[in-house]
Amino acid sequence: MAADPYAWSLSDETLVVVAALAGGYAVARRLEPRARGRRAAFAAGLVLVAVVFTTPLESLSLHYLLTAHLLQNVVLAEWAPALVVLGLPKAVASWVARARAVRVLTQPLVALPIWLSTYFAWHLPWLYDAALRRPDSLLHLEHLCYFLAGALLWWPVLQAEPHRLRSGAKAAYVFAAFVLASPLGLLLALLPNPVYSFYKAAPGLWGLSHLADQQIAGVTMTAEQAVVFFAVFVTYLGRHLREEESGEAFRTLGPT
């Protein structure tokens, strides 16, 4: 019997993870009680995690559409970790940044390759299919890898410690992340045949062929990354230009 594509689910794993993160944050927020923006960002990150595992997106991902699974992965590898990292209270982020492992892993030349390697490795057909056929073990590992790699990716952009990057460096880093990650989505959109045997064997839905599903997935992934990474890139590029302008004005008005 085919699974209901529109079913909602509430797994124990989702409840435990979201509740643990929310509880930990409730304690940590006392260190920075006025940071409403950070609290909103962290809450939005938790909501996204809950959404991808409780809404019909989960059923669509596990039984029907590659597009749904890629969207789920994008949320876990990019959107949710960015919001969670942004939402950390400064005192908590500073404490975490003191750990040697964090100092090493959040270096831009380390964090970016880890994130890219995670993305590309889990999209290898044999590993991608294996994870989907083991939703209670290997798929959980995949999702955890995405989230942790995403947190490493965004840390040097959204947190001042332990690496105080200038705005220009942040803009270049985010632009590099987009340029290096985008070929994956483009490749999926351009391949002439479906590459994942799990979805080739999946029942059809909404009249989409398996190839059309793969093409939509690739285009969606690339478009999402273009919007998100370009928005962050433009933000920090603008800051960089303003900083340069302010510095030039200071040098012009300063003593000679």
Position 30 scores a pLDDT of 67
Position 33 scores a pLDDT of 61
DSSP H stretches of helix in the chain: 12-28, 36-54, 56-63, 66-74, 80-87, 90-97, 100-105, 108-122, 125-133, 138-158, 167-190, 197-200, 210-253
- The residue written with tokens 């939005």 in the block is 44
Position 248 scores a pLDDT of 54
Position 29 scores a pLDDT of 66
Q: What global pTM score does this model have? A: 0.90
Q: How confident is the model at residue 256 (pLDDT cuts 50, 70, 90)?
A: very low
Instruction: Give Rg (Cα) of the chain.
Output: 20
Q: Are 55 and 8 in contact (CB under 8 A)?
A: yes
Position 16 scores a pLDDT of 74
Length of the chain: 256
What is the distance between the alpha carbons of residues 129 and 187, in angstroms, rounded to a whole number?
18
Position 247 scores a pLDDT of 64
Q: Are 146 and 77 in contact (CB under 8 A)?
A: yes
Q: What is the mean pLDDT of residues 170-197?
A: 95
pLDDT digits (tens, 9 = 90+) for 99-139: 999 999 999 999 999 999 999 999 999 999 999 999 989 99
pLDDT digits (tens, 9 = 90+) for 199-218: 999 998 999 999 999 999 99
More confident call, 255 vs 188:
188
Structure tokens at 49: 């995690």
What is the distance between the alpha carbons of residues 45 and 133, in angstroms, rounded to a whole number?
27
Q: Are 115 and 177 in contact (CB under 8 A)?
A: yes
DSSP-derived 3-state class of residue 208 = strand
Position 45 scores a pLDDT of 93
**In this model, does residue 192 exceed pLDDT 70?**
yes
pLDDT digits (tens, 9 = 90+) for 137-156: 999 999 999 999 999 999 99
Residue 94 pairs with which residues in a beta bridge?
Answer: none
Q: How confident is the model at residue 17 (pLDDT cuts 50, 70, 90)?
A: confident
Position 250 scores a pLDDT of 45
What is the distance between the alpha carbons of residues 90 and 179, in angstroms, rounded to a whole number?
30
Position 148 scores a pLDDT of 95
**In this model, does residue 158 exceed pLDDT 70?**
yes
Phi, psi for residue 208 in degrees, rounded to 5: -80, 135
What is the distance between the alpha carbons of residues 135 and 133, in angstroms, rounded to a whole number?
6
Q: How confident is the model at residue 56 (pLDDT cuts 50, 70, 90)?
A: very high
Q: How confident is the model at residue 238 (pLDDT cuts 50, 70, 90)?
A: very high
What is the distance between the alpha carbons of residues 109 and 158, in angstroms, rounded to a whole number?
16
